[in-house]
Amino acid sequence: MSRHLLGVAIATALTVTLTGCGSGGSESATDEALEIWIRQTPDSDSAKTAQKLADAFTKASGIKTKVVALFDDFETKLQQQAAQRNLPDIVINDTAQIGNMQTQGWLREVDKASLAGGDKLSELAWKAATASDGKTWAAPFSAQAFALIMRKDWREKVGMEPPKTWEDLAKLAQAFTEKDPDGNGQKDTAGFVIPAGTKRGYASWYASSFIYSNGGDFLTAGSPGAFTATMNDPKTVEAVQFLQDQFCKAKTVNPGAVSNDTTVTHEVFEKGQGGIYLVGPYVLARFVESVGTDKIEVVAMPKGPSGGPGTLGEGENVYLMAGSGNEAGQKKFAEFAVSAEGQRIGMNKDANGAIVRLPVNSEVDMAAERQDPRWKVFQDAYADAVYAPPVPNWAPIRQGSADSINTVWADCAKDVKAEMEAANTKLTQELQNQKAS
């Protein structure tokens, strides 16, 4: 049997095996709580917002729920549940995980036409709920694009304007590094704070907005289901080179960045160790509280010298997991989550803990829900956002590209063009392994 046919057979067998073995038990056991997993830190503000959403759903539908918030090793724990034939009923997880989950047979297909309120949802968000087979395997729940959260007080201290080009951005980062913007008389600040580690592919995740804003990409799509690696594209190389220059020549990046994930990088920004953070809107309320609303600003990502505009687009989907004994309850929860009421609860107004960053429902007026005008910068950026392509499994592609990008940032002797050529070869092989080249 070919590897492709074997993979299909395994996925089909897993789906059949999981049927009737989800947390709901048999199909008639709809009185059991609907188990909802969300990738958030337990007891965090975001986990509390998820609980509010579940409680409101229970009040509206009469269906009991159990929210499980997990952050560390989320995907590994899902694998363990699948091995035990006991997947949760609902998973709220990253859009980029759709291929990985779908190819393992974990998901139920979503009929857009029969999902109440589905016609009110953004087409771009629906695209992120579509896998490489062209079918819809989730309901869109939250969206986000990226922008620069910066220290406004530092920028004014060094007497510079918000950056409009990459050259402006580099000069501002240099000023933040060399001109003592916090006024403590020490040279202890950096321009950029970057989650440049390899854990969960963070180096690639961060670099992607620079790559997209320069007109580059990791892959390009050909015929349906067929992709070509483009890590060696000059526009992609130029973006990675710009960032290597910040690490190695200008030395404007916070120390230790090459080992950091976002958890550490958030704290670096909060502690005033750096002043420019390219990130999503989910930390805006946190930074308003921890740094001070008058000290931070949000600025659109400047387009690169060879392209743009464009930043990484991502978010979360509501995944209806295979094997649930309460398929009707799954569908009702998805419909509530994407409804105007569900979206407003998830947005959590201007407070910390939003699990809906940008609403995907056209009936929700973000300006009416959130008074902070800085959210609009992220909303405007979403119009040009670029989602991860719908390959069967994006995770090894993000991880492989992150390993290569991290290498050229951590080792200044590495030639960016040569390393991106090598990365392109690896991505080409991965696409072949996934039967997606």
Domain ranges of the chain: 3-143+313-379, 147-312+393-433
Stated pTM of the model: 0.87
Backbone angles phi, psi at 312, to 5 degrees: -60, 135
Q: Please report, as a single letter, which amino acid is at residue 76.
A: T
d(C-alpha 100, C-alpha 143), whole Å: 19
Please state the CATH superfamily assignment of the domain spanning residues 147-312+393-433 in this structure.
Answer: Periplasmic binding protein-like II (3.40.190.10)
Exposure pattern of 88-100 as b/e (b: 16+ CB <10 Å)?
bbbbbbbbbbbbb
Tokens 């690696």 belong to 229
CA geometry: angle at 159 spanning 238 and 194, to 5°?
40
Please state the CATH superfamily assignment of the domain spanning residues 3-143+313-379 in this structure.
Answer: Periplasmic binding protein-like II (3.40.190.10)
Q: How many CA atoms lie within 13 A of 301 on its CB side?
A: 35
d(C-alpha 371, C-alpha 301), whole Å: 22
Beta bridge partners of 316: 94, 142
Measured CA distances, 176 to 192, 256, 274 (Å): 9, 17, 8
Say if 3-143+313-379 and 147-312+393-433 have the same CATH topology: yes
Mean pLDDT split into 10-residue runs, the chain, 437 residues: 39 42 44 94 96 98 97 92 96 93 94 96 94 93 97 98 98 98 97 96 98 97 89 98 98 98 97 98 95 98 93 96 97 98 97 95 93 95 92 93 98 98 98 95
Backbone angles phi, psi at 220, to 5 degrees: -125, 145
Which pLDDT belongs to residue 390?
Answer: 87
Residues 6+ apart with CB under 8 A from 294: 152, 153
CA geometry: angle at 143 spanning 331 and 365, to 5°?
90
